[in-house]
């Protein structure tokens, strides 16, 4: 059977056009894939959430930065350590904190709180409903009044947005405690699938309240990848039941390693028994834990012995 020459020619043109379109489609797909890769790489670089546990000796000070380059400060350490804290703040060119949390009014946590209030802009200041008859606390209240700032009381269950991250208040759960440490503001921070639990100096009484609340709700709200170990690793905190609920992969202890015998051996053993990676400011210096929302990266100022 003879083929129609016109049909044959048309078929050839169609084949050539199809080949050209196929090549063009491959090029477009290749460019699109590269564009997505570039976007993912950019997002990963821009999406770093960073928690710095500052080595302020026997005290707590934690600086948190979100991917939007906004900052949050939890406690300040003692007044003698303000130079150490200030150096970290200056290295980040910080002028404003979106949030400042003073967990409770002990000098090793709020020793430089008055200076922070005086020298920086603060979006939201969160404190527990407890006072203390020390000059450290009085100076803090004077600076708050001088700047006509409001204090947001720590209310359990209240949630706050912090850029791409969010956090909520876990404790205190009662209005009155016999021990000031148990008034400590406890927060859980969430960034992507990574979670952090900051516990101030809570002791067993507050821990028991948190455990009871979790049991009453039928929900473990305190499970976290990273735990800031309460009260510098004191045996008066970090009960086995509390640690079993938190299930931390990483446990950070802020202490000078000498005062009051902190951290206590019992706590180190409990953390070891649950296979947590233990990081200590007295051994590792400043500790930085970064998250891209999926995985955690640890950097320490001093390599472990």
Q: 293 preceded by cis ω (within 30°)?
A: no
19 has a pLDDT exceeding 90: no
Statement to judge: residues 17 and 164 lie in one domain: no
Measured CA to CA, the distance from residue 203 to residue 207 in angstroms comes to: 6
DSSP 191-223: ETTEEEEE-TT--HHHHHHHHHHHHHHTS-TT-
Statement to judge: residues 125 and 115 lie in one domain: yes
Residue at 213 is within a domain: yes
pLDDT in tens, 158-204: 999 999 999 999 999 999 999 999 999 999 999 999 999 999 999 99
Query: Which residue range is the domain that position 23 belongs to?
Result: 9-45
Statement to judge: residues 19 and 162 lie in one domain: no
Residue at 127 is within a domain: yes
pLDDT of residue 11: 45
CATH code where residue 67 lies:
3.60.15.10
pLDDT in tens, 203-241: 999 999 999 999 999 999 999 999 999 999 999 999 999
Classify residue 222 as left (phi > 0), alpha (psi -120 to 50) or beta.
alpha
Measured CA to CA, the distance from residue 277 to residue 289 in angstroms comes to: 12
Residue at 174 is within a domain: yes
pLDDT of residue 304: 66
Say how many domains are in the chain.
2
Statement to judge: residues 152 and 293 lie in one domain: yes
Statement to judge: residues 126 and 228 lie in one domain: yes
45 has a pLDDT exceeding 50: no
Statement to judge: residues 26 and 108 lie in one domain: no
Number of neighbours of residue 195 by Cβ within 10 angstroms: 20
pLDDT of residue 33: 39
pLDDT in tens, 138-168: 999 999 999 999 999 999 999 999 999 999 9
Statement to judge: residues 89 and 16 lie in one domain: no
pLDDT of residue 6: 41
Residue at 163 is within a domain: yes
Measured CA to CA, the distance from residue 167 to residue 162 in angstroms comes to: 7
Q: pTM for this one?
A: 0.85
């Amino acid at each position: 059977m003879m083929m129609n020459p016109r049909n044959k020619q048309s078929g050839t043109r169609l084949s050539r056009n199809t080949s050209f379109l196929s090549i063009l489609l491959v090029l477009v797909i290749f460019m699109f894939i590269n564009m997505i890769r570039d976007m993912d790489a950019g997002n990963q670089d821009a999406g770093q959430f960073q928690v710095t546990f500052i080595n302020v000796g026997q005290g707590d000070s934690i600086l948190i930065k979100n991917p939007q380059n906004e900052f949050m400060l939890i406690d300040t350490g003692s007044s003698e350590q303000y130079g150490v804290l200030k150096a970290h703040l200056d290295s980040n060119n910080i002028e404003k904190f979106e949030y400042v949390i003073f967990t409770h009014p002990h000098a090793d946590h709020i020793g430089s709180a008055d200076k922070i209030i005086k020298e920086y802009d603060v979006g939201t200041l969160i404190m527990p409903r407890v006072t203390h008859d020390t000059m450290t606390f009085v100076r803090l209240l004077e600076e708050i009044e001088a700047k006509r700032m409001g204090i947001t009381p720590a209310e359990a269950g209240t949630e706050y947005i912090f850029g791409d991250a969010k956090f909520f208040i876990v404790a205190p759960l009662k209005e009155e405690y016999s021990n000031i440490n148990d008034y400590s503001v406890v927060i859980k921070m969430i960034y992507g699938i990574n979670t952090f639990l900051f516990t101030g100096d809570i002791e067993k009484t507050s821990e028991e309240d948190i455990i009871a609340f979790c049991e009453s709700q039928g929900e473990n709200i305190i499970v976290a990848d990273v735990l800031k170990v309460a009260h510098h690793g004191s045996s008066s905190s970090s009960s086995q039941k509390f640690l079993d609920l938190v299930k931390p992969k990483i446990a950070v202890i802020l202490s000078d390693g000498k005062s009051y015998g902190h951290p206590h051996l019992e706590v180190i053993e409990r953390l070891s028994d649950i296979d947590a990676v233990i990081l200590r400011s007295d051994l590792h210096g400043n500790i930085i834990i970064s998250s891209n929302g999926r995985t955690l990266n640890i950097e320490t100022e001093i390599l472990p012995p």
